[in-house]
């Protein structure tokens, strides 16, 4: 991938994220919408934007709203990009963050740790009698760092200063 395309992808991502926060007034586009990846075709005519959605509304509804706002987002890109043509936008739902969260919860449940966002005290209350014998490990005391002994150096006396003292 060449450097120009990478810079253009980063600029498109920045412009679209600010436009989604400020300019789009579609009620279907609500909640936390983050642009996870921008993929620009080699001829720079097509742009696939991967979007992660964390919202109360279903992701399919948010995606419909994004696809309907595509024309206004392209106009915003045309105003802010210094290129001859503006790439045609297409939005795709990115489920990778959701999958990562599920995998992390599975790993923590196998290890016996509380899920992300929960303190050990809350997990203990939920588990009840199962965790009564569970003890919380105290952090180990750290040893003081080793410091090299300080050696006082004798002042350096030059021959000229010794000669002056003799006179």
Q: Over the stretch 96-131, which tens digit does the pLDDT of each residue have? A: 877 888 888 888 888 876 666 665 555 555 555 454
pLDDT of 83 over the 80 cut: yes
Domain locations along the chain: 3-98
What pLDDT was estimated at residue 102? 86
What pLDDT was estimated at residue 24? 83
How large is the average pLDDT for residues 18-33? 85
Q: Which CATH superfamily is domain 3-98 in?
A: K homology (KH) domain (3.30.300.20)
pLDDT of 11 over the 90 cut: yes
Torsion angle of C-alpha atoms 114, 117, 122, 126, degrees rounded to 10 = -60
Please, what is the Cα angle at 37 between 35 and 42, to 5 degrees? Answer: 135
**Lowest mean pLDDT across 44-48, 105-109, 130-134:** 130-134
**How far is it, in rounded angstroms, from Cα 70 to Cα 90?**
8
How large is the average pLDDT for residues 59-76? 90
pTM of the model: 0.60
Percent of the chain with pLDDT over 90: 26
pLDDT of 62 over the 70 cut: yes
Percent of the chain with pLDDT over 70: 66
Beta carbons of 88 and 47 less than 8 angstroms apart: yes
pLDDT of 54 over the 70 cut: yes
Beta carbons of 12 and 78 less than 8 angstroms apart: no
Mean pLDDT of the chain: 78
How large is the average pLDDT for residues 28-51? 90
């Amino acid at each position: 991938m060449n450097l120009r395309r990478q810079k253009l992808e980063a600029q498109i991502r920045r412009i679209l994220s600010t436009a989604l926060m400020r300019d789009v007034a579609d009620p279907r586009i609500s909640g936390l919408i983050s642009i996870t990846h921008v993929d620009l075709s080699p001829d720079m005519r097509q742009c696939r934007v991967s979007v992660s959605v964390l919202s109360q509304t279903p992701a399919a509804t948010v995606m419909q709203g994004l696809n309907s706002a595509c024309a206004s987002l392209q106009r915003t890109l045309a105003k802010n990009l210094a290129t001859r043509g503006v790439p045609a936008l297409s939005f795709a739902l990115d489920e990778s963050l959701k999958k990562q969260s599920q995998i992390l919860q599975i790993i923590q449940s196998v290890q016996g740790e509380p899920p992300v966002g929960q303190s050990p005290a809350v997990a203990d209350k939920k588990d009840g009698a199962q965790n009564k014998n569970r003890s919380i490990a105290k952090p180990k005391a750290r040893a003081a760092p080793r410091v090299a002994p300080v050696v006082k150096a004798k002042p350096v006396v030059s021959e000229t200063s010794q000669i002056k003292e003799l006179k």
